[in-house]
């Protein structure tokens, strides 16, 4: 049987973004931290770091935030960036403010451009992040692109060939699958995650992407009931679906 990981209460809450260890002491002094029905006062007390912690612990009456590892599924809206470092509003600003202080921190699994919408995964689980983006995992990413000009007709063959070289790159792209949806709309499934890859692929085919939306990562689809800007915690079966 695997051992339940334990953490000092004050460190656990500080790492979840509830404040410095001193601020956490303040919460404990007020009796604001309740675990299994009892108010806790000793910051040095060891607490089991288990996925159902939010059902057992409350902070000022509200369920404690889920401990790491935490993975979220978001419908990325237009006009937000995927990096903490890029200028502009970021996807992290759509999450509770306290989460910006979480340790380990949350990162997006790959990136979507400012003007791309759709399925985005956010995690603090480094091994999971690498497993999803590693080329050898062959996790597909599926996009729907609206194009400025009608498809020429040869794009599916060009993208499937595995010989397409993007400007300023030295390695050809892995084969990708294109399905036309109309004259100016196509579904494209890729296995890599190169910089602006989809836009650059259509540019190499003499076209221009006017709108881009990701609707699938591996076998995981963007839930139809998740509005742009909305997010939720990824469920275990959804995690498995990524690699199915
Ligand atoms: N390819 C792009 O060009 N942009 C994205 O946001 C994702 C894939």
Tens-digit pLDDT profile for residues 25-63: 999 999 999 999 999 999 999 999 999 999 999 999 999
Q: Are residues 201 and 156 in the same domain?
A: yes
Q: In which element (H, E) is residue 124 found?
A: none
Band of pLDDT at residue 135, cut at 50, 70 and 90: confident
Mean pLDDT, range 79-99, rounded to an integer: 95
Pocket of ligand 1 (CB under 6 A): 112-113, 116, 196-199, 212
Q: Are residues 134 and 237 in the same domain?
A: yes
Could you give phi then psi for residue 159, rounded to 5 degrees? -75, -30
Token pair for residue 56?
Answer: 């057992």
Q: Are residues 29 and 101 in the same domain?
A: no
Ligand 1 centroid–CA 104 distance in Å is 27
Q: Are residues 25 and 112 in the same domain?
A: no
Mean pLDDT, range 65-75, rounded to an integer: 97
Ligand 1 centroid–CA 78 distance in Å is 13
Q: Are residues 154 and 229 in the same domain?
A: yes
pLDDT at 79 (0 to 100): 98
Q: Are residues 230 and 124 in the same domain?
A: yes
- Residue 1 in any domain: the answer is no
For the chain, give the percent of residues with pLDDT over 70: 100
Ligand 1 binding pocket mutation candidate from 212, 213, 217 (most atoms within 8 A of CB): 212
Band of pLDDT at residue 84, cut at 50, 70 and 90: confident
Residue 23 has pLDDT above 80, yes or no: yes
Taking the mean position of all CA atoms in its chain, how far away is CA 85? 16
Buried b (16+ CB within 10 A) or exposed e, 57-88: bbbeeeebbebbebbbbbbbbeebbbeeeeee
Q: Which residues make Cβ contacts (< 8 Å) with residue 137, sequence separation at least 6?
A: 131, 243
The residue whose CA has the least distance to atom 5 of ligand 1 is 112
Looking from the CA of residue 112, the nearest atom of ligand 1 is 6
pLDDT at 1 (0 to 100): 63
CATH number for the domain that contains residue 49: 3.10.290.10
Nearest to 25 by CA among 4, 44, 53: 44
Per the prediction, the chain carries an average pLDDT of 97
Band of pLDDT at residue 2, cut at 50, 70 and 90: confident
- Residue 49 in any domain: the answer is yes
Ligand 1 centroid–CA 49 distance in Å is 36
Q: Which residues make Cβ contacts (< 8 Å) with residue 224, sequence separation at least 6?
A: none
Distance, CA of 142 to CA of 198 (rounded, Å): 10
Whether the model clears a pTM of 0.85, i.e. scores above it, the answer is: yes
Of 42, 113, 154, 237, the active-site residue reads: 113
For the chain, give the percent of residues with pLDDT over 90: 95
Ligand 1 binding pocket mutation candidate from 86, 110, 113 (most atoms within 8 A of CB): 113
* Boundary of a domain, candidates 21, 46, 63: 63
pLDDT at 136 (0 to 100): 87
Split into its structural domains, the chain has a count of: 2
Residue 129 has pLDDT above 80, yes or no: yes
Mean pLDDT, range 84-110, rounded to an integer: 96
Ligand 1 centroid–CA 186 distance in Å is 14
CATH number for the domain that contains residue 164: 3.30.2350.10
The residue whose CA has the least distance to atom 3 of ligand 1 is 196
Domain that holds residue 47: 6-63
Tell me the pairing of strands 209-217 and 116-123: parallel
Mean pLDDT, range 105-109, rounded to an integer: 97
Ligand 1 centroid–CA 59 distance in Å is 40
Q: Catalytic residue at 113?
A: yes
Q: Are residues 55 and 76 in the same domain?
A: no
Q: Are residues 47 and 99 in the same domain?
A: no
Q: Are residues 193 and 153 in the same domain?
A: yes
Ligand 1 binding pocket mutation candidate from 119, 121, 143, 187 (most atoms within 8 A of CB): 143
Q: Are residues 120 and 42 in the same domain?
A: no
The residue whose CA has the least distance to atom 4 of ligand 1 is 196
């Amino acid at each position: 049987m695997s051992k339940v990981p334990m953490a000092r209460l004050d460190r656990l809450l500080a790492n979840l973004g509830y404040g410095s260890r001193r601020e956490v002491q303040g919460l404990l002094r007020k009796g604001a931290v309740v675990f299994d029905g009892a108010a806790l006062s000793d910051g040095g007390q060891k607490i089991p770091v288990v996925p159902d912690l939010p059902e057992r612990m409350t902070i000022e009456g509200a369920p404690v935030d889920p401990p790491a590892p935490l993975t979220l599924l978001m419908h990325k809206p237009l006009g937000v960036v995927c990096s903490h470092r890029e200028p502009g509003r970021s996807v992290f600003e759509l999450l509770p403010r306290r989460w910006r202080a979480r340790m380990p921190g949350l990162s997006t699994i790959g990136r979507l451009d400012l003007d791309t919408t759709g399925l985005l995964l956010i995690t603090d689980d480094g091994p999971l992040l690498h497993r999803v983006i590693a080329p050898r995992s062959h996790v597909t990413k599926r996009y729907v692109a609206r194009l400025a000009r009608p498809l020429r007709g040869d794009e599916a063959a060009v993208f499937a060939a595995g010989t397409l070289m993007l400007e300023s790159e030295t390695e050809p792209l892995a084969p990708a699958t294109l399905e036309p949806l109309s004259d100016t709309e196509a579904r494209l499934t890729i296995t890599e995650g190169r910089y602006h890859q989809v836009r650059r692929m259509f540019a190499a085919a003499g076209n221009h992407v006017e709108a881009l939306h990701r609707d699938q990562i591996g076998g995981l689809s963007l839930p139809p009931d998740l509005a742009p800007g909305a997010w939720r915690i990824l469920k275990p079966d959804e995690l498995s679906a990524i690699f199915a």
